Structure 1
Amino acid sequence: MRKGDTQEIRRLNRRAILSHLRRGPLTRADLSRLTGLAKSAVSRLVEELLQEGLLEEGAFTSPPLGRPGTLLHLRPGARFALGAEVGVEGTVLLALDWRGEVIWAKEWRHPKAAGPEERFARLFQEALPKTEGALGLGFTLPGVVVGERLLFAPNLGWRELSLKDLLADFPLPTLAENDAKASALSEVFFHGEENLAYLVLSTGLGVGVVAEGRLLRGANGAAGEVGHWQGQGERRCACGRKGCLETELSLEALLQHHRALGGEAEDVDTLRAQAQEGDPLVQASLAHLGEALGRFLANLAVAYDPARVVVGGKAAELFPFLEGPMRRALEAHAFLQAHRTLPVQPSSYGHLAAAVGGASLFLARFFELGGLWAESPRRNGGRYAEVAFGDRRGPGA
C-alpha cells in the first residue's frame, strides 16, 4: 500500500456520502446501502461531517420495515464560494453556497474603456470585506482563458493578459475561466449532464460544450468561440475581422436591428421592459433574434449533438420572447428528427449564471475532495492547486 492510500480512501468515502446527500435527505442506513460501506464506517464518517458543521440532523423516520433512523441533510450555507463575472459592460459578484443557493449578489457597471487594473481593483474592493469563510474566488471572462492567462477577449479589447499579476494580492485562492465554459461546468456539477451545450448570448456569443462528460477546450482553449465563426457579412467584428457570427447573433446585434426599425431603446433592460408592455417594434426585433437563434441551434446540434441546451447571459431573461420563433426555426432547419425537439431552456440563474459558474469551480472541487480541503489543506495529500477539477474521478470529468 502506498503512503497516503488510507487518506485517499477516506476522502473517496466522504465524497460518496456527500454526493448522495446532495440528492436529498437520507438516513445512515440509506447511506450504507447506497455506498456499500459498513454501517460502522458510515457512522464514523457522518460523525466527522457533523462535527465539521457540514451536515445536520433532521426529522426522525419510522419506516414500515427496518429500524427507525434520523434523516441527514447538507447544512445550508455550511460552505460557500465567491463568484464573479467580469463582463463587457459591468461586473457581477456573488456568494454561492454548496447547495447552489445565491446568498447575496452585487452588480455594478463601468465604462467599456475601463482597463483590467481598474476593473479588478473594484472587484477586490467589493469582495475583500466578504472573504471570511469563502473557499475561494472564481471569476469568468468573455474570452479565451488558459490557466492564469487571458489570450484574447475581443469585446473587452484585451490580449495576452497575465491574470496572475492582477491577482497577486488577493487573500483567497482564485480561479479564472471563460464565461461559457464555467457556466457549462456548473451545469455538470449541479445537474450531472453528460452532453450539454451552454450558450452565453450577451454582448457576444460563446458556447461551453460538455461531450460525454468532458468539457471541450481545444488545443488553444478556443473551443466554443462560436461567435467568431465566419460568414459572408460585411460588419466589422470586435476581433478585427468581418462577418463573424456575433455581428448578427448577439444582444448588440439585437439593439442594432431594433434601431434600424426605428426603435429607441438604449440597452437590453429598456428593451425587455418595452417588450413586456407589448411594444410592436421590440417584439419584431426579438422575433428576428429568436429566428436567428433557432437556425444557429440547428447548426450547433449538428456540430455537437447535445442532449440539452441552456441559454445564459441576459438573453436568459428575454427567453419568453425568443422561444416561439426560435423553436419554429429549429424545427424547420433541424438535421435529425431528434434535433427538432431538442430541449432548450434558459438558465435558472438568469444573468447571474456566469458568476455562479465561477463560484462552482471551487464548490465542485470541495466536493471532489470529500470536504477535506477546507478542513486542512494537507489532509487531502497535497496542496489544493495539485487537485485537477477535470480528472476522471471528479464531478468535472
Structure 2
Amino acid sequence: MRKGDVQTLRRLNRRAILNQLRRGPLSRADLARATGLAKSAVSRLVEELLQEGLLEEGPAAPSPLGRPPTLLRLKPRARMALGAEVGVEGTVLVALDWQGQVAWSKEWAHAPEEDLHARIQRLLLEVRPHLQDALGLGITLPGVVAGRRLLLAPNLGWREVDLSPHLAALPLPVALENDAKASALSEVFLHGEQNLAYVVLSTGLGVGVVAEGRLLRGATGAFGEVGHWLGEGVSPCRCGRRGCLEVALGLETLVKRYRALGGTASTLEGLLAGARAGEEAALLALRQLGEALGRFLANLAVAYDPARVVVGGRVAELFPFLEASLRASLQAHAFLEAHRRLPVAPSVYGHLAPAVGGASLFLARFFELGGLWAEGPRRNGGEGYAEVAFGDRYGLGA
C-alpha cells in the first residue's frame, strides 16, 4: 500500500468515527460495530482524537452485566468557524461551533452605496479578535459567485468584481458563496437534507437547491437566481430589467404595500411590531405576501421537486404571520398532490442563516477531512498530509 493510501485511509476512518459521534455519545465498542473497524483501530484513532481535544469521555453507560462502558462524545466548541453575510444594508458575523451552535453573533448596518473595500475593512476589524479559534471565514453575498469573482449583485450595484485584492488582508482561510447556496449547504451539513430548496427572501430573492445531497450550481453559478425570473409586471428591477419576481415579492415592496393599506411605520421592524400588536394593515400585507409566496412555491415545486422547503432571510421572522395564507395558497395552486403537502418551515437560525451557512462551509470540510486540518509535516520524516490542506487561502478546493 502506498503511503498516500495510508493517509487517506486514516482520514476516512477518523471521519467515520466523528460522523457516528455527531449522532450522539457512543462507547468504543459501539463505534467498532457502527463503523466496521477493528476495535484496535478504533482505540488508536479515539486516542488521537482525545489528545487533539476533539472528543471527551463522559459518564459510563448503564449496563446490566459487567463493567459499564465509558461513552465518548464530541467535545462542545472544540472547533469553531466564522461566517459573515455581506448584505445590502448590513453585515452579520457569527461564530458557529462544529455541533451547529451559534457561540456569538454581531451585526452592523451600512449604507447600500458603501463600497466593497470599506465593508471588508470593517469585517476584518471585527474578525481580528477571533482569529485564533477559527478554522476559517465563510463570506456569503447576495449575487452570483464564481470562485473569487462576484459576477453580479444587482441589489448592491456590483458587476464583475474580483474579490481577491479585497481578501488579501484577511489572515485566515476564506471561502465565498452565494447566500442562498451557503444556507442550503448548511442544511445538508447540520440536518442531512438530501432534496431541499432553501429560499432566502430579504431585499432580494434567491434559492439554493440540493438534489440527492448535491448542491446545484449551473454553468456559471447562477442556478437558483429565481428572483430574476420575469413576470408580467413592469416595475424596474435593480438588475436593469423590468418585471423581475423579486420586485413583487421583496420585503421593500411588502413595506410599500403595508403603507398603501394605511400602515404608519416606514420600516420592516415597524411593520413586524404592528403585526405583533394586531394592526390590521400589517396583518393584511403579510397575508398577501403569504399568498404570493404560496404561488411561488407551487412553481418552485414543479421546477425542482424538493422534499422540503426552508425559508430564510428576514422573512423567516415574519413566517408566523404569513404561514396560514402561504399553505392555503400552495394547496390551491400545487401541480401534484404531493406538493400540496410540501413541508415548509422557517430556518431555525432566522436572519442569521446566511452567515451560519458561510461558517458551515468550513465545518463541513473539517468533518469531511476527518479533523485533519491542514496538518504540517509529520513525525518519522513524513511528507505531511497535503491532501487535507487547503489548496489556497481563498477556497475549499475540489
Normalising by structure 2, report the TM-score.
0.95
Alignment check: 8 A CA contact 1:61 1:68 kept:
yes
Q: 5+ residue gaps in structure 1? A: 392-397
Alignment check: 8 A CA contact 1:364 1:389 kept:
no
Q: Hey, what's the Cα distance between the residues in 2 that align with 1:386 and 1:176? A: 13
Q: Does 1:335 align with 2:335?
A: yes
Q: Hey, what's the Cα distance between the residues in 1 that align with 2:200 and 2:349? A: 12
Query: The residue matched to 1:358 in structure 2 has which SS?
Result: helix
1:395 matched residue in structure 2: none
1:394 matched residue in structure 2: none
Alignment check: 8 A CA contact 2:78 2:98 kept:
yes
What is the Cα-based RMSD across aligned positions, in Å? 1.6
Query: The residue matched to 1:332 in structure 2 has which SS?
Result: helix
Query: The residue matched to 1:381 in structure 2 has which SS?
Result: helix
Aligned partner of 1:254: which letter? L
Aligned partner of 1:280: which letter? E
Distance apart, 1:386 and its partner CA: 7.2
Aligned partner of 1:309: which letter? V
Q: Hey, what's the Cα distance between the residues in 1 that align with 2:144 and 2:218? A: 11
Q: Does 1:144 align with 2:144?
A: yes
1:217 matched residue in structure 2: 217
Q: Does 1:229 align with 2:229?
A: yes
Q: Hey, what's the Cα distance between the residues in 1 that align with 2:66 and 2:368? A: 32
Q: Deviations over 1:74-98 (max 9, x none)?
A: 0011000010000001000111000
2:294 matched residue in structure 1: 294
Q: Does 1:73 align with 2:73?
A: yes
2:318 matched residue in structure 1: 318
Q: Hey, what's the Cα distance between the residues in 2 that align with 1:34 and 1:386? A: 35
- Correspondence list, 1:2-21, <5 A: 2-21=2-21
Q: Hey, what's the Cα distance between the residues in 2 that align with 1:337 and 1:110? A: 45
Alignment check: 8 A CA contact 1:138 1:175 kept:
yes
Distance apart, 1:256 and its partner CA: 1.6
Alignment check: 8 A CA contact 1:135 1:374 kept:
no
Change (3 A) 1:14 1:256: same
- Correspondence list, 1:58-97, <5 A: 58-64=58-64, 68-97=68-97
Query: The residue matched to 2:329 in structure 1 has which SS?
Result: helix
2:130 matched residue in structure 1: 130
1:238 matched residue in structure 2: 238
Distance apart, 1:315 and its partner CA: 0.5
Change (3 A) 1:141 1:126: same
Distance apart, 1:379 and its partner CA: 2.4
Alignment check: 8 A CA contact 2:195 2:306 kept:
yes
Alignment check: 8 A CA contact 2:90 2:110 kept:
yes
Q: Hey, what's the Cα distance between the residues in 2 that align with 1:314 and 1:272? A: 11
Alignment check: 8 A CA contact 2:175 2:396 kept:
no
Distance apart, 1:262 and its partner CA: 2.3
More displaced stretch, 380-389 vs 359-368: 380-389
Query: The residue matched to 1:318 in structure 2 has which SS?
Result: helix
Structure 1 residue ranges (4+ consecutive) displaced by more than 2 angstroms after TM superposition: 62-68, 374-383, 385-391
Query: The residue matched to 1:209 in structure 2 has which SS?
Result: strand
Distance apart, 1:9 and its partner CA: 0.2
2:98 matched residue in structure 1: 98
Distance apart, 1:322 and its partner CA: 1.0
Alignment check: 8 A CA contact 1:139 1:358 kept:
yes
Distance apart, 1:66 and its partner CA: 7.1
Query: The residue matched to 2:220 in structure 1 has which SS?
Result: coil
Query: The residue matched to 2:373 in structure 1 has which SS?
Result: helix
Q: Identity across aligned pairs (percent)?
A: 69
Q: Hey, what's the Cα distance between the residues in 2 that align with 1:299 and 1:109? A: 34
Q: Does 1:28 align with 2:28?
A: yes
Alignment check: 8 A CA contact 1:138 1:176 kept:
yes
Q: Hey, what's the Cα distance between the residues in 2 that align with 1:141 and 1:385? A: 22
Q: Hey, what's the Cα distance between the residues in 2 that align with 1:133 and 1:112? A: 31
Alignment check: 8 A CA contact 2:390 2:397 kept:
no
Distance apart, 1:281 and its partner CA: 0.2
Q: 5+ residue gaps in structure 2? A: 378-383
Change (3 A) 1:90 1:2: same
2:385 matched residue in structure 1: 379
Q: Deviations over 1:243-283 (max 9, x none)?
A: 00001111112112112212232221121111100010000
Alignment check: 8 A CA contact 1:92 1:105 kept:
yes
Q: Hey, what's the Cα distance between the residues in 2 that align with 1:354 and 1:94? A: 10
Q: Hey, what's the Cα distance between the residues in 1 that align with 2:42 and 2:279? A: 60
Q: Hey, what's the Cα distance between the residues in 1 that align with 2:65 and 2:215? A: 44
Alignment check: 8 A CA contact 2:155 2:203 kept:
yes
**How many equivalent pairs are there?**
391
